[in-house]
Structure 1
Amino acid sequence: MRLINCQSLDFEEFVQDVPAYAVLSHTWGKDEVTLSDMSNRDKASKKDGYRKIKDTCRVALDQGIRYAWIDTCCIDKSSSAELSEAINSMFAWYRQAAICFVFLSDFTSFPEAMLADIIALFDAREPLEEQQEGFYKDPPPLTGQDLAIRNKVNKSLGSCRWISRGWTLQELIAPKRVNFYDRDWKYFGSKAQLASILAWVTGIDSSVLKGKPLDEILVGRRMSWASNRTTTRVEDMAYCLLGIFDINMPLLYGEGRKAFTRLQEEIIRSSHDLSIFAWKAEGNDLRRFRGLMANSPSEFKGCQRLVKPSFEWNNGGEYSITSRGLRTEGLVRIARGESAEVGSYFLSLNCVDARQTKLILSVSLRQYGPGLFARRKPWQRLTVFDLNVFSSAKLSQPQYICCKDNPELEKIVMDSRIDAIQIGFSVDIFDKFDLDSITAFPQADWDLKNSILLSFQRPQLWGMWKIKAKDKNDGISIVCVRSSGWLLYGIFAWDKLPPALTQNGLLPSEVENILKRLPDRTSTACSGFQHTIHDIHLDLGEAGIKVPATLLQVSSTEKDRSQGRERTKFIKRLFKKA
């Protein structure tokens, strides 16, 4: 580690037994002093940044600290290896510092009496907001005095460049001791003294500023702290967050937004915190389908109050990053009841808004291929009542949720339903059948929530769909196949399903041959019903997009009714003959 000797302003290298040192947190100007500049002290002293180095060393010596670390001149930025090591170690270096000096070059401190009043007002307000966290409860409204003070603080301290820069986020959180200085190097408070003000200005939890461990804060909430911050280089918006999430990864300047994707991948690999998917697309992004990963920290603006729910129903589920997307087991569920309004499938994120603790946040999903899902309506915040989480059906096979953004994703999702096959029923059958008993084969090809056999742009496909009668060992099976350009289908009672269709590994052409040999496959009887099936042209599109498909409509009537109608028709024919 390269440190500045505060007395001589010379550099000294330390590998072990690093002495106590002060560290500077600031925003870079146009005329900073670099490592190479310091080799020529006369040249360096003519730069504006040199004054900052001298003042840092002066204040450090006043506090009995002989060494200092400053990012402008203590890193050899011409060495990519040293730069990578420094960025991956920076959070630790700030945390291990004896003290951090925050220099605000564009801020003039309030008069001492006024500052004391401001701190007192913010400190008094903070416990009111914390105590009111609960179901739809808000803290008492701000008084006129509170509003005036907050407006004054926002226009002065809140508008400082240091507040809005990406790198300064970890520089505020990591050190245990932080002292703040204005443009004239006038000390006006410590991090502990200003915690309630800094929490309001930055969005960072006051408890974190007072020392609460970061791993007790949900990932989505930590991401929200960077939602309004910026960096000069796109990649740095990811690199400046490495320490916040205890992540190490190589730097690849030139990769652009991929850096933030890589950061999210590393977080997913190292934690089981689903709040990383709790982001919401920004208002100008109206795409109907997205991958699971956010484009930038700005999409986490609404995650500042995320907390864990009072119970964890999905801690047994697993997920991992694969080449097909996020592979999950036991996490994706078919929505039931009230939660059916939020989408076909959902991935519960095991987090809640602190103001609405009964509503578990979730991601709505749309199936578009064999076990493949995309995030649906990413601009909405979706919730699932806790009771419905327990009653919703898990998918037994692994699912793969698209992770990365893909400009073709919307087209891929919609095209997966071209020439798809949907199963429909007459309303009265639902009282007699157990909807929770629905099974399909191959399961990965079926959108079970909407009873759609997805085409996934395949010219040949086949599937079987089964539903069981309530409290009976009876039910119906529907078999459909598209093989040689034709659609064949059949409906069978469970005990009348051709044995040949229960074999494993059947090809669509083999299923077609089996169905062709059956003389009667459009009608069957079970559980007191006569079921008849016929095909109808269907449009599965939405918002002006046409998606041609086929609906296999099952009409079901009770046997005694159908027999009564047949008896009536027979009597009428007799009268005609007479």
Structure 2
Amino acid sequence: MRFINTTTFKFHELSDSDVRNLKNGYSILSHRWTWGSGEITYNDVLAMDTKVEAKGGFPKLAGACAVAKTLGYGLIWDDTCCINKTDSVELGEAINSMYRWYAESDVCIAFLEDVVSLELIENSEWFSRGWTLQELIAPKRVRFYDSNWEFLGDKASLADVLTRKTGIPADVLRNEKPPQACSVAQRMSWAAMRTTGRLEDRAYSLMGLFDINMPMIYGEREQAFGRLQQQIIAKSTDESIFAWDLDLLESGTREIRHLHTGMLASSPACFARCGDLVSLGSSRGFHINQFGLNIALPSTQISPPLGIYRSTLKVGKASATGKQFALFLLQFGESRYARVCSGQGESSVLTDIVPQDLIQFSIPAPISTEPLRIFPGLWLRQFSYNPKVCYSAILERDGTWQVDRMKLPGGEDRTVGIIQLVRHSVGPFWIKLGFGPSSQPMCCVVVPLSKQGNHAISDYMRTQATDLQRTPPGSVARKHHIIFDSDWTEPGGKAMLGVPPDSYESKTAAGSLDGGGFDFTYKAPNSEVSVSARLVPNMDWTSEGREIWAIDIVCDNSSLSPDHDNCWFC
């Protein structure tokens, strides 16, 4: 191990056994690289002349040596100059050993160059850098100094302040609890808001915290964090490594509204909300092979038409005793699954219901980066009325997804389908579903009006419904039938062409062009209908990518009931 002599500023190299036999141990410096080319390098120490002493980073090295010497240490280690970074083998060995070097130091001197008083310590960028995380956690003693080398306090005395700033538990900072006793997800959360100069260092700077050794491959970019997670999986049974949040994926990875993922996160930022996650015991076992992650999880199928499972991990929250973390998995082949959001847009839930069925999943490990092609479609997720009973079976008559979904060829805008409800006092009550010119989801509720006993419009709607039933599905005649007319997708358009506008009421709602859905409630005499649309992930990996919208319809009056024989889909 190569040190700087705190008196001569010259290198002093020791074997591992010599380091262990040092009477007073050694000191180690933690700082931010603020001087760029002005930092003191390995070759600068070899030269050590007036030109080197004139560099911007020299006062930092001199100050650190002076403090270390005052504390009684003849040797100090500094990452800017004690590693020959032109030697890739030495650099790789140093990065793999660095956590141990900090852990075995007698004292770590943390220089906060941008701090002038204790009150401002939390504002230091030292707390936002990736490498300084291990430099805070690994050493038993960390002493903080401001820009003038005035002592601010040590890790133990400032534990409460540091916990508030970093999220690291105070008992870890006080050396009362080893960091390895915290869950994988919790340790990842400590790095969530930190940055590094090179993308790969987000992973490399965490190796020591997880007791991982792996080769440095600068240029692999995001793959470095994937390799780190695979190495953790190879030696850990902690399922919290899968408990990251989908909606925290970086925007450059995928649009969250078109999201499918594997089980590995793209960066530590995905674990930002995992600070209080705890492991609830060892996993039944999981491993990664060439096909992806293989893991057995207690699961419940929550959306039979689409094959979505809610699967619980042996993970909980310290603040929610008795509840377990559950994620959502979509089946897209005979034995293949992917992680998705639920129909409500949740990427995970806390539940006290543990499924009894243990299912073996094979899930892609990395995040999928292939963009999806848009193919508009609707999924009737819930169809209920008073009493609240789900009638989604209306769309499952032959058990195929072609019937389960109401869909259009890409690029078309018109009515996709109509649900007819029976109102005993007035007559049919229609809910038209479809897409507007920009593929945004649309809904129109059409209610016939009865005027002085004149039920002409109700009779008209019944006649048209009967006529539609005689029209073969998929035919041109059905697509252009008046019921499926899409003039209602235009501003000011009519819900029903050829029908006097004063003979019915209607209300139309549309989603936004940026992917937002809609929620609306239609109140008519003696009845109320609520309809909502939510974008769910692409649900069919066996064919072209599709954009699927989950539709919920709730009728809150007992005078309404679904007409099971009169639901039409184009």
TM-score normalized by the length of structure 1: 0.61
2:364 corresponds in structure 1 to 402
Assess, with a 3 A threshold, how the Cα gap between structure 1 residues 108 and 316 changes in structure 2: closer, same or farther: closer
Residue 349 of structure 1 deviates from its aligned partner by: 2.1
How far 1:168 moved relative to its partner? 0.2
Distance (Å, rounded) in 2 between the aligned partners of 1:40 and 1:229: 34
Shift of 1:364: 0.4
On the 8 A contact 1:335/1:392 being kept in 2, the answer is no
Equivalent position amino acid for 2:226 in 1: T
Shift of 1:308: 3.1
What is the aligned counterpart of 1:84 among 92, 97, 122?
92
Partner Cα distance (1:356, 1:158) in 2: 29
Report the residue type matching 2:211 in the other structure.
D
Give the one of 189, 192, 198 matched to 1:227. Answer: 192
Letter in 2 for 1:14: L
* Contact residue 104 and residue 181 of structure 1 kept, 8 A: yes
CA distance in 1, matches of 2:88, 2:537: 51
The CA distance in 1 between the partners of 2:348 and 2:12, in whole Å, is 55
Higher relative contact order, chain-length normalized (CA < 8 Å, sep 6+):
2
Q: What is the aligned counterpart of 2:209 among 244, 265, 285?
A: 244
Name the structure 2 match of 1:8. Answer: 8
Q: Is the 8 A contact 1:289 1:409 kept in 2?
A: no
Q: Give, as a single letter, the amino acid of the residue that structure 1 aligns with 2:104.
A: Q
Give the equivalent residue in structure 1 for 2:269.
298
Match of 1:34 in 2: 41
Pairing 1:193-232 to 2, within 5 Å after superposition: 193-211=157-175, 212-232=177-197
Using the TM superposition, give the Cα deviation of residue 255 of structure 1 relative to its aligned residue in structure 2, in angstroms: 0.5
- Partners in 1 of 2:243 and 2:88 — Cα distance? 34
Q: Deviations over 1:372-423 (max 9, x none)?
A: 100011873423533x31x43122xx431111012238679x99x9xxxxxx
Q: Where does structure 1 differ by over 4 angstroms across 4 or more consecutive aligned residues?
A: 339-343, 409-412, 450-454, 541-549
1:22 aligns with 2:30: no
**Distance in 2 of aligned mates of 1:263 and 1:373:** 22
1:369 alignment partner, SS class: coil
Deviation at 1:48, TM superposition (A): 1.5
- For residue 453 of structure 1, report the CA deviation from its aligned partner: 9.3
Structure 2 stretches of 5 or more lacking a match?
378-388, 390-397, 403-472, 475-533, 545-570
Which SS does the other structure have where 1:12 is aligned?
strand
Q: Distance in 1 between matches of 2:236 and 2:336?
A: 23
Q: Which runs of structure 2 are paired with 1:399-438 in the superposition (5 Å)?
A: 399-408=361-370
Deviations, residues 415-439 of structure 1 (Å, cap 9, x unaligned) = 9x9xxxxxxxxxxxx9xxxxxxxxx
3-state SS in 2 of match to 1:68:
strand
Find the residue that maps to 1:331 and give its secondary structure: strand
Deviations 1:323-373 (A, max 9, x none): 111012x3252347xx99998213322111222223211110000112110
Looking at structure 1, the residues matched to 537 and 189 of structure 2 have their Cα atoms a distance apart, in angstroms, of 35
Contact 1:101–1:181 under 8 Å retained in 2: yes
How much has 1:281 moved relative to structure 2?
2.7
How far apart are 1:7 and its partner, in Å? 1.5
Q: Distance in 1 between matches of 2:327 and 2:164?
A: 29
Aligned residue identity for 1:323: Q
* 1:213-246 deviations in Å (ceiling 9; x for gaps): 1221000010000111000000001000001111
Whole-angstrom CA distance in 1 between matches of 2:230 and 2:340: 20
Q: Secondary structure at the match of 1:363?
A: strand
Q: Is the 8 A contact 1:220 1:275 kept in 2?
A: yes
Return the letter of the residue paired with 2:274: C
Counterpart among 184, 191, 204 of residue 148 in structure 2: 184
CA separation in 2, counterparts of 1:370 and 1:451?
A: 16
Residues 273 and 342 of structure 1, relative CA distance in 2, 3 Å threshold? farther
Contact 1:321 1:327 in 2 (8 A): yes
Q: Quick one: distance in 2 between partners of 1:49 and 1:58?
A: 15
Would the alpha carbon gap of residues 342 and 380 (structure 1) be closer, same or farther in structure 2, given more than 3 Å must change? farther
More deviation in 230-239 or 402-411?
402-411
Range moving further from structure 2, 207-216 or 281-290: 281-290
Deviations 1:34-70 (A, max 9, x none): 0001122122111121111111111111111110000
C-alpha distance 411-263 of structure 1, shift in aligned 2 (>3 A): farther
In the TM superposition, residue 295 of structure 1 has moved relative to its aligned partner by 0.9
Q: Partners in 2 of 1:245 and 1:239 — Cα distance?
A: 11
- The 3 A distance-change label for structure 1 pair 279 and 543 is closer
Whether the 8 Å CA contact 2:341–2:348 is kept in 1: the answer is no
Residue type matched to 2:41 in 1?
A: T
Compared CA separation, residues 326 and 188, structure 1 to 2 (3 A): same
Cα offset, 1:282, TM superposition: 3.7
Residue 162 (structure 1) aligned to one of 126, 131, 137 = 126
Write out per-residue CA displacement over residues 123-152 of structure 1, whole angstroms, 9 at most, x where no aligned residue.
xxxxxxxxxxxxxxxxxxxxxxxxxxxxxx
Matched residue, 1:333? 299
Greater helix fraction, Structure 1 or Structure 2: 1
Kindly report the root-mean-square deviation, in angstroms, between the aligned alpha carbons of the 2 structures.
3.4
Corresponding position of 1:440: none
Please show how residues 29-428 of structure 1 align to structure 2 within 5 Å: 29-30=34-35, 31-42=38-49, 43-110=51-118, 156-211=120-175, 212-282=177-247, 285-286=255-256, 287-309=258-280, 312=281, 315=282, 317-328=284-295, 330-331=296-297, 333-335=299-301, 344-377=308-341, 380-386=346-352, 388-389=353-354, 391-395=355-359, 398-408=360-370
How much has 1:263 moved relative to structure 2? 0.5
Separation in structure 1 between the aligned mates of residue 275 and residue 305 of structure 2, nearest angstrom? 26
1 CA distance for matches of 2:146 and 2:240?
A: 37
Count, aligned residues: 380
Distance in structure 2 (CA, Å) of the matches to 1:87 and 1:230: 17
Deviates most, 41-50 or 297-306: 41-50
Q: Secondary structure at the match of 2:122?
A: coil
- 1: distance between equivalents of 2:361 and 2:266? 23
Counterparts of 2:8 and 2:48, CA distance in 1: 11
CA contact (8 A) 1:179 1:191 kept: yes
User: Residue 102 of structure 1 aligns to a residue in which SS?
Assistant: strand
Q: How far apart, in 2, do the equivalents of 1:216 and 1:29 lie? A: 34
After the TM superposition, which residues 473-512 of structure 1 pair with which residues of structure 2 at under 5 Å, given as runs? none
Between the aligned partners of 2:368 and 2:196, the Cα distance in structure 1 is 25
Secondary structure of the structure 1 residue equivalent to 2:332: strand
| Aligned equivalents of 2:123, 2:307: Cα separation in 1 | 41
Change (3 A) 1:227 1:452: farther
Deviation at 1:204, TM superposition (A): 1.1
SS at match of 2:313: strand
Greater mean deviation of Cα atoms: 371-380 or 16-25: 371-380
What CA distance in whole angstroms lies between the structure 2 residues aligned with 1:63 and 1:545?
62
The whole-number CA distance in structure 2 between the counterparts of 1:357 and 1:545 is 34
Task: Tell me the residue number matched to 1:468.
Answer: none
Residue pair 2:340, 2:537 contacting (<8 A) in 1 also: no
The 3 A distance-change label for structure 1 pair 357 and 49 is same
